[in-house]
A and B are shown apart, each in its own frame.
Chain A
């Protein structure tokens, strides 16, 4: 039986002086597949990085320059009189807490990176973006869009771009770029669902539902539940997102082509994530969220749709067993990405043997590294205790 031991108990057991308890924790980490490589080990052993994931919100005062922005709210300061500042601050906090509580991730970089947001950027600016280090939010023009900090999933979407950069580093064009966008949408929706304690049935699965003005007939920027249906009106056109590989949109790998349609074709994995979460049921951030997050950690810059689908199926199998593996596999098949997984009838015996062998080698190496780190931590602990007694 696969079981997920709560992370705080695992953390406690890993630091236990009792070698048997440490071994239990170690075995649990290895067998339930939640390591996600050395990054996870580091986060457990060195939680609480130098930045302390402190939040700072800056006010650009409607200038198109961040260098002239003023500090509007810091971690220990009282709430601002400006609701936009507070929305950004609270949104960063909710997203930070989500990653910490759900994935045991310590901020964007897993090392306590500071979270910085710039609000009131430019005049009538109708966008929110991640520049590689910070998040920037516009006020909208008041005709089409309103303040972009109004949607928690938009704030979480931008912050997730940072997480992706520090993990898989998915290249921002074509399929890997659409996966990059998909991860941001999925995590954005999960943060909102987690914040509202919604089940998969209660969630709206919309991205940016709060940022259109009431006069615009549009549900949101995107719908994970029904890609291609978020809006349809003469002013902004029809939502172009596909929900199946048969309708994959080929666009030029240029800025004007949305770098191969990264915001367009993300509809396909978005739909797969929605279907998987619905089939699994309950709270999406639990099983489905963990499967997707672990798949992100196991991905690389060039991972494409099929490879990511395969990884989620493998992670579902490792973390939760047959039922959830089938739910994930069926979800991908529904969007035209049929993938095989270890243990499924379609996977060849040869392929399984190779995969198992590689996994065993990987686990043996991880075990060795963890034992070395445990020895170091034990030695350091002894030294500290010794010095305290002197």
Chain B
């Protein structure tokens, strides 16, 4: 089992409560499952730096990726517009393209 969600929050529209984009690997083709697993492993190997302060940016959008895998505790990776690295940005975009917002979290 592999389920990945992306929550986009904050930014100029700070008060908006947007639903997460969710991808359940069970609903994907074998090829997409492999691609998702590869992107998840890339993020796990190269996580963005932790966001501990607002820094110099203002109205930065926040991103929270939650990964749930069978037999493992859920993992969360947080970033913003200035801290998201390549692995984080690539997986985010993939979730936005493949995920849905209707079914709630994983």
Interface positions of A (Cβ within 8 A of B): 64, 123-124, 126-133, 136, 144-145, 148, 154, 157-158, 161, 165, 172-173, 177, 180-181, 184, 208, 221-222, 231, 235-237, 239-241, 255-256, 258-259, 262-264
Contacts and interface: CB of A to CB of B under 8 A. Distances in A.
B12 interface: yes
A208 B9 CA distance: 17
Interface string B7-49: 0111111111111000000000000000000000000000000
A258 B10 contact: yes
B58 A124 contact: no
B10 A161 contact: no
A124 B8 CA distance: 12
Interface in B35-78: 51, 54-62, 64, 78
B59 A256 contact: no
A145 B61 CA distance: 14
B80 interface: yes
A15 to B, nearest CB: 37
A361 B13 CA distance: 44
Contact of B60 (A129, A145, A173): A129
A390 to B, nearest CB: 49
A237 B13 CA distance: 12
6 contacts: A128-B12, A129-B58, A133-B56, A158-B58, A235-B19, A262-B14
B62 to A, nearest CB: 5
B61 A127 contact: yes
Interface of B: 8-19, 51, 54-62, 64, 78, 80-82, 89, 93, 96
Contacts of A154: 12
Given A236-B18, A255-B80, A256-B78, A127 B13 contact: yes
A154 to B, nearest CB: 7
B80 A236 contact: no
Contacts of A131: 56-57, 60, 81-82
A172 B80 CA distance: 15
A247 to B, nearest CB: 13
A173 B14 CA distance: 13
- Most chain B CB within 10 A, of A129, A181, A239, is at A129
Nearest to A266: B14
A228 B7 CA distance: 23
A221 B89 contact: no
Contact of B15 (A128, A184, A241, A255): A241
A64 B89 contact: yes
A255 B12 contact: no
Nearest to B12: A128
Contacts of A161: 58-59
Nearest to B18: A236
A262 B9 CA distance: 13
Contacts of A127: 11-13, 59-61, 81
Given A126-B11, A131-B57, A236-B16, 8 more contacts: A64-B93, A127-B61, A129-B11, A148-B12, A157-B12, A181-B14, A208-B13, A255-B10
Given A161-B59, A237-B16, A259 B11 contact: no
Contacts of B81: 127, 129, 131, 136
B15 A264 contact: yes
B9 to A, nearest CB: 7
Given A64-B89, A124-B96, A126-B8, A221 B13 contact: yes
Contact of B59 (A158, A173, A237, A264): A158
Nearest to A249: B15
Nearest to B51: A255
Contacts of B10: 255-256, 258, 263
Contacts of B93: 64, 123
Given A127-B11, A127-B13, A240-B15, A255 B62 contact: yes
Contacts of B80: 255
A131 B56 CA distance: 6
B65 to A, nearest CB: 13
Nearest to A236: B16
Contacts of A158: 12, 58-59
Nearest to B56: A132
A237 B14 CA distance: 12
A130 B8 CA distance: 18
Contacts of A231: 16
B12 A129 contact: yes
Nearest to A161: B58
- Most chain A CB within 10 A, of B51, B58, B80, B93, is at B58
